[in-house]
Chain A
Amino acid sequence: MTLDLDTCLEHLYEKKLLAECVLKEICEKAKELLLRESNVMHIQAPVTVVGDIHGQYYDLIEIFRIGGYCPDTNYLFLGDYVDRGLYSIETIALLTCLKLRYPDRVQLIRGNHESRAITQTYGFYAECMRKYGSAQVWHYFTDMFDFLTLSVVIDNSIFCVHGGLSPTIHVLDQIKIIDRFREIPHEGAMADLVWSDPDPDKDDFAISARGAGYTFGKLVVDKFLHQNQMSHILRAHQLCNAGYLVLFEDKLSTVWSAPNYCYRCGNKASILEVGGNGERFFNVFDAAPENDEKNSQVAVPMDHQIDYFL
């Protein structure tokens, strides 16, 4: 079948579920596209960087409202598209279609939640079963996740990754040789890049309480930036009450894009706008008003017929 991306996008912007066979096709095409991407993608500013979204569809639309819609604005998404929120499927379907439609304007990095093990515990699997009656859609997406890149560099200056640094990665070339086309392992460089966290109270690496990855401190950050001649590390992965957090004398920032996380944390969210001259601006925002209107109706499992769009 020929995929009509514009029609798919039209439906996805109306938060409609696509048919299973359409999702299959979208994921297949996405894999072909992503296969050609390096583990370290190089892009240029201006670009708007987005942190964790976690299935909060209305807040993704809010991001487009304040940051500009594709393709008018270039976007870099740092991962964690699914789990926890009520609309993981609608969220990842929209992002995947945008990537297919505007491949040079949208970059998608893999987060620790883009994994089979995690999605079986934190909600995406259950949502697929609930909305499609089988695990097939979950299989399509989790297979596609294996193809997502691990990192992006903006203007040879800002290193962007979902989690953080690894004790086994000193230079970017070491990331390039990782075989990323697999389920995220529990140990090793690939695991570290999606699981690690900065720790302002430490200097070096320490094993993470999360059970994968490490925490890393100032000396590690300084050394990595120096050895790779870059100026900043940009990542997501940790909830920030103010929507973002800057550490190590502006050498590292965390951007968090899921406001009122899980519809109860009351936190702000932000997107980071990187300008053509390297200026960085955190655009802070609150949860979209649709959340209050629409979400309470969804808490109950849907018994009625779901309309699929081809």
Chain B
Amino acid sequence: MTHREGVTTVSHDWTLIKASSLIDDQVIIEIDGNTPVEQACHHLVKNNISSAPVFNMSTSPHGNTVKKYCGMFDAGDVIAYILLVLKSSSVNDTGSLEIQEIVQRAMNGKQVPVSLASDLSQRNPFYSIMHETTLLSAVEIFACGTHRVCVLKPDGTIKGILSQSTVVKYLYEHRRQFPEIDDLLNRTVRQLSLGESAVISVNADSPVLEALSQMSEHGVSSVAVLGHMGVILGNISMTDVKYVLKSVHHRLLWETCIQFVSLIRTQQGIEDGQDRLPVFDVRLETTLGFAIAKLLATRAHRVWVTDERDRPIGVLSLTDIMVAVAGQVGVTPTGTRRSSVSRPAFAI
């Protein structure tokens, strides 16, 4: 490599970096589409992963069997499935054909294959990007609410999964290299018009089932658990459904939200040898950089934005950060996946 005065080989334009370069080859856990949903759930829990690509084997024109990816199975789908099955006794003719088929099968005691259930939440269809896809394109996909995409190798097999957190971590760690990112990170949450948004919440004494219903109905991945005077005591996220799955007869669905949060935090504290704050939050005056550092350190997908009395006034998620980053280069993503208008609601 030759170096000349004033010429640098380091890129200062993040938009053109290949998204695939952010990850190494990974061993991906995939799920056969014929696997019954319950087994697929245990697969996620056992391997301690939050989502897995679902494939079906199909015959190619040449006559050999080939893997075809039909969706991503994740906690959102698990929740939608649980709510659906619990509600199945009162189902009528609303809902798409697939959902009806699921309910029919579940009611007749027949196993539901995960290929049918893998996009029940309609929030994480199978998204794949190619080897050459730019980071900007990946950010645009993430800004619409998708949490992870599969990165394909030139031969069509999966190289690995690229998540929102990996992209945010990369941009944060290289912010000095990218002046417009550095500039963005120095602005406060308030200055970026982030942080004041609808807060989906449940009362500390309501059952966990209510929290899951709210998540599904509003298309969010976390709900705030509120105590006395509207103070936020904790939150329940989509990924917490794994604790429900681990409990006998899913009994945790009927515990109160505060008991559920206590259980999870208590368990986590023993495993880590150290306890955490029950709520990760920032203020409107916090810089985006600090908020991101907190997200990365705690490995959370969102932080709550609270006022001086610890009441939640909004939420700042990795998706919001992706929107802000895309906005920095003048890109406004369309087609966000938050609205529940076009879907049947699974409220109980």
User: Residues of A at under 8 Å CB distance from B?
Assistant: 84, 112-113, 117-118, 120-123, 126, 186-187, 195, 197, 206-212, 237-239, 261-262, 264-265
> What residues of chain A lie closer than 8 Å to B273, measured between beta carbons?
238-239
Contacts A117-B278, A121-B278; is A211 near B294 (CB within 8 Å)? yes
Given A113-B275, A121-B234, A121-B278, residue A207 in contact with residue B293 (CB < 8 A) = yes
User: B27 at interface (Cβ–Cβ under 8 A)?
Assistant: no
Are B299 and A209 in contact, with the CB atoms below 8 A?
yes
B233 contacts the other chain (CB 8 A): yes
B46 to chain A, nearest CB (A): 23
The minimal Cβ–Cβ distance linking B288 to chain A, given in whole angstroms, is 14
Report the interface size for chain B: residues with CB under 8 A from the other chain: 29
Enumerate chain A residues within 8 angstroms of B156, measured Cβ to Cβ.
Answer: none
Contact with A along B231-262 (1 / 0, CB 8 A): 00110000000000000000000000010011
A126 contacts across to B, CB distance below 8 A: 262
Contact A121 B262 (CB under 8 A): yes
Q: Is the CB of B275 within 8 A of A118?
A: yes
Is B277 an interface residue when CB atoms closer than 8 A count as contact? yes
**Neighbouring B residues of A206 by C-beta, 8 Å:** 297
Q: Are A262 and B270 in contact (CB under 8 A)?
A: yes
Q: Contacts A121-B233, A121-B234 given; indicate if A211 touches B276 (C-beta within 8 A).
A: yes
CB<8 Å pairs between A and B, sample of 22: A84-B269, A120-B227, A120-B233, A121-B261, A122-B265, A122-B269, A187-B283, A197-B274, A206-B297, A207-B297, A209-B276, A209-B299, A210-B275, A210-B277, A211-B276, A211-B279, A211-B298, A212-B277, A238-B273, A261-B270, A262-B270, A264-B270
Query: Max chain B CB contacts within 10 Å: which of A123, A197, A206, A207?
Result: A207
How far is A267 from B210 in the complex, measured between Cα atoms in Å?
39
Decide yes or no: A122 and B270 within 8 Å by CB, A207-B293, A209-B299 being known contacts: no
Contact with B266, one of A84, A187, A210 (Cβ below 8 angstroms): A84
B281 adjacent to chain A (CB < 8 Å): yes
In the complex the two chains form, is A118's CB within 8 Å of B278's CB?
yes
Which of A84, A187, A210 interacts with B276 by CB under 8 Å?
A: A210
Bound-state CA distance A60–B309 (Å) is: 35
User: In whole angstroms, what is the CA distance A212 to B292 when docked?
Assistant: 14
Complexed CA–CA distance, A56 and B59 (Å): 64
| Besides A121-B266, A211-B298, A239-B274, 6 new A-B residue pairs in contact (Cβ under 8 A), listed by A number | A121-B258, A126-B262, A186-B279, A208-B297, A237-B274, A262-B270
Number of A-B contacts (CB under 8 A): 71
B residues near A, CB below 8 A? 227, 233-234, 258, 261-262, 265-266, 269-270, 273-281, 283, 290, 293-294, 296-300, 310
User: What are the residues of chain A within 8 A of B281 when measuring CB–CB?
Assistant: 186
- What residues of chain B lie closer than 8 Å to A186, measured between beta carbons? 277, 279, 281
Shortest distance from the beta carbon of B168 to any chain A beta carbon, whole Å: 14
Q: Which residues of B contact A261 (CB under 8 A)?
A: 270
Tell whether, in the assembled complex, residue A123 and residue B277 are in contact, meaning their CB atoms are under 8 Å apart: no
A154 to chain B, nearest CB (A): 25
Q: How far is the CB of B163 from chain A (nearest CB, A)?
A: 18
Chain B neighbourhood of A113, CB < 8 A:
275
List of 3 A-B pairs having minimum Cβ-Cβ separation, nearest first: A211-B277, A239-B273, A207-B297
**Cα separation A212 to B280 with both chains bound (whole Å):** 8
* Given A210-B276, A261-B270; A121-B265 close (CB under 8 Å): yes
Q: In this complex, which of A84, A117, A121, A197 has the most chain B Cβ atoms within 10 angstroms of its Cβ?
A: A121
Closest Cβ neighbor of B300 among chain A residues: A211
Contact (Cβ within 8 A) A112 B275: yes
Chain A residues contacting B227 (CB-CB under 8 Å) are 120
Do B297 and A123 have beta carbons less than 8 Å apart? no
A265: which B residues are within 8 A, CB to CB? Answer: 270
Task: State whether A117 and B233 are in contact (beta carbons under 8 Å apart), knowing that A207-B293, A208-B297 are contacts in the complex.
Answer: yes
Q: Give the Cβ gap from B171 to chain A, nearest Cβ, in Å.
A: 16
CB contacts (< 8 Å) of B276 on chain A: these are 209-211
Q: Which residues of B contact A264 (CB under 8 A)?
A: 270
User: How many whole Å from A52's CB to the nearest CB in chain B?
Assistant: 10
**Nearest-CB distance from A101 to chain B (Å)?**
31
Query: Chain A residues with Cβ under 8 A from B293's Cβ?
Result: 207
- Residues from chain B with a CB closer than 8 A to the CB of A238 are 273-274
Rounded to whole angstroms, the CA-CA distance of A84 and B310 in the bound complex is 24
Distance, CA A286 to CA B217, complexed state (A): 51
- In Å, the complex CA distance between A238 and B272 comes to 9
Is the beta-carbon distance between A211 and B280 smaller than 8 angstroms? yes
Q: What is the chain A residue whose CB lies nearest that of B263? A: A121
Cα of A118 to Cα of B279 in the assembled complex, Å: 10
Nearest CB in chain A: distance from B292 CB, A: 10
Tell whether, in the assembled complex, residue B233 and residue A122 are in contact, meaning their CB atoms are under 8 Å apart.
no
Residue of A nearest to B234 (CB): A121
Among B265, B278, B290, max chain A CB count under 10 A is at B278
Of B258, B290, B296, B297, most buried by chain A (CB within 10 Å of CB) is: B297
In the bound complex, how far is the Cα of B258 from the Cα of A206, in angstroms?
30
Contacts of A122 in B (CB 8 A): 262, 265-266, 269, 275
